[in-house]
Structure 1
Amino acid sequence: MDPVDNIVNYKIGIIYWNSEDSRLFVPKRERSMGYTINFAHKLNILILISITALVVYTAVYLQ
């Protein structure tokens, strides 16, 4: 069974969290809906900080 299909790997039913899965982007349970982020992956922190910094920069400097 693919770890994505296991409901135990989801927090609050929607956040995929599996530290044993080496993929950063994993397909959603409904494959036709695209991909989601593995929030237990180490690179996830850099991605979230980058997105947050981009949003803050846009809000502050591009009014």
Structure 2
Amino acid sequence: MDIDPVDNIVNYKVGIIYWNPGDSRLIVPKRERSMGYTLNFAHRLNILILVVITALVIYTAMYLQ
């Protein structure tokens, strides 16, 4: 029986950050499916997404007071 990589605890850093370079999905369901989705932080596109979100937060904090 094949187990979904999301259910394998080895693919989590610090127990909450999903990190699986072998998984091509950008957004994956959480281990507890009813809790929604999380990001695969090993996916290259996530770096861009996190930089954009961080830049928006900084811009908002600095210029929209």
- Please report the TM-score for the alignment, with normalisation by the length of structure 1: 0.99
Letter in 2 for 1:4: V
Counterpart amino acid of 1:21?
A: D
Q: Which runs of 5+ in 2 are unaligned?
A: none
Work out the number of aligned pairs and report it. Answer: 63
Q: Take 2:14 and 2:35, find their aligned partners in 1: how far apart are those partners? A: 18
Cα RMSD (Å) = 0.3
Map 1:1-63 onto structure 2 (within 5 A). Answer: 1-63=3-65
Structure 1: stretches of 5+ with no match in the other structure: none
Distance in 1, Cα, partners of 2:57 & 2:18: 23
Q: Post-superposition, which runs of at least 4 consecutive aligned residues in structure 1 deviate over 3 A?
A: none
Percent identical pairs in the alignment equals 83
Letter in 2 for 1:15: I
TM-score (norm. length: structure 2):
0.96
